[in-house]
Amino acid sequence: MIHKRILLYLATFLFTVSLMAGEPRKQTVVYAEREGQALMLDIYQNDSLSLLPQPCLIFVFGGGFKNGERDAALYRPYFSHFARNGFTVVSIDYRLGMKDQKAPGMLNYKPLLNAIHLAVSDLYAATNYLLAHADRLHIDPSLCIISGSSAGAITVLQADYMKRDNHPLAAVLPPDFRYAGVISFAGAIFSSEGLPSYTQPPAPTLFFHGSDDKLVPYDNTRLFRLGMFGSKSLAKRFREKRYPYTFYTLEDIGHEVSEYPMEEYLPEIEQFITDFVFDRRQWMIDIRHKDMLRKPKNSDTPENYYN
């Protein structure tokens, strides 16, 4: 009898390990329709024996608000890692407001601002879909973390900022809802009021940015109070106001930081979520990484990216 019980425990353990090691299940649903376009999201979940609702990691893809795909191959290691480790991972479509537009600048900012607002509005709609179906999807509404790459990083930073600053677009979300964390791979916030100042404290935020990024500013690009404020500027504001954050500066690296941390910094991202979201550590951390073996790529500029 004891021998059979040990075998049963061993079989259960091996079954659980095999589930954790396998590829997560993926389902695709339409979460909204906008301007005749069906907006879809992919939900990645592992079959697991957990009885507790899962934290939800929402991802917004990059592509300069003019192209990109929610299920691009370069994002899959990121999705799989967190789905295998007890998260529901959701990757969303959004409207591409910079398609066929000229390069943005401080004298030509309205198309970019419109594109950001479209993307943020669609992220809010996707969030509402997930909140409305939280029970069926087995997710914890209090643990929704938003994450994005490049244009997607701009979107998630802007979305949390607009929610905390009571922007009218954010009124579609439940009044008591807050994103639990933000993860930005080479992002920024557009502001017409100078360096963003939050009415309510922002979510704990993890910034990754290359110090030589010429496409999304590492520091800022501004004309008087109008501008794009990158990770360095935002981390400065977080430190001034004592908001929890971690900021990885990848020295002498360009816009490729929007991609490779999703493969090479998975333990650091997971540690941030554990410390800042689950354990609610009130830490402010600045880290400068210089990889002397990594050869930098030539970073795009807005002019050669859009024209």
Is 233 contained in some domain? yes
Predicted pLDDT at 279? 98
pLDDT of 20 over the 80 cut: no
Is 11 contained in some domain? no
Is 17 contained in some domain? no
Is 79 contained in some domain? yes
Is 16 contained in some domain? no
Residue % of the chain over a pLDDT of 70? 92
Q: pLDDT category, 105, cuts 50, 70, 90?
A: confident
Predicted pLDDT at 50? 66
Asked if 230 and 209 count as a contact pair (C-beta separation under 8 A), the reply is yes
Q: What is the mean pLDDT of residues 54-65?
A: 98
Q: pLDDT category, 21, cuts 50, 70, 90?
A: low
pLDDT of 49 over the 60 cut: no
| Tokens, residue 147 | 């994450």
Buried residues in 264-281 as b, exposed as e (16+ CB within 10 A):
ebeeebeebbebbbeeee
CATH of the domain at 187: 3.40.50.1820
pLDDT of 12 over the 70 cut: no
Is 184 contained in some domain? yes
Predicted pLDDT at 51? 75
Domain of residue 207, residue span: 25-306
Is 1 contained in some domain? no
Number of domains in the chain: 1
Predicted pLDDT at 15? 39
Q: Which residue has the higher pLDDT, 50 or 276?
A: 276
What would the pLDDT profile of 118-147 be if each residue is shown by its tens digit? 999 999 999 999 999 999 999 999 999 999
- Amino acid 256 reads E
Predicted pLDDT at 3? 47
User: Range with the lowest mean pLDDT among 56-70, 94-108, 205-219, 259-273?
Assistant: 94-108
Buried residues in 208-240 as b, exposed as e (16+ CB within 10 A):
bbbbbbbbbbbbbbbeeebbbbbbbbbbbbbee
Q: Among all chains, which residue has been given the structure tokens 């990594």?
A: 294
Is 6 contained in some domain? no
What's the pTM? Answer: 0.91
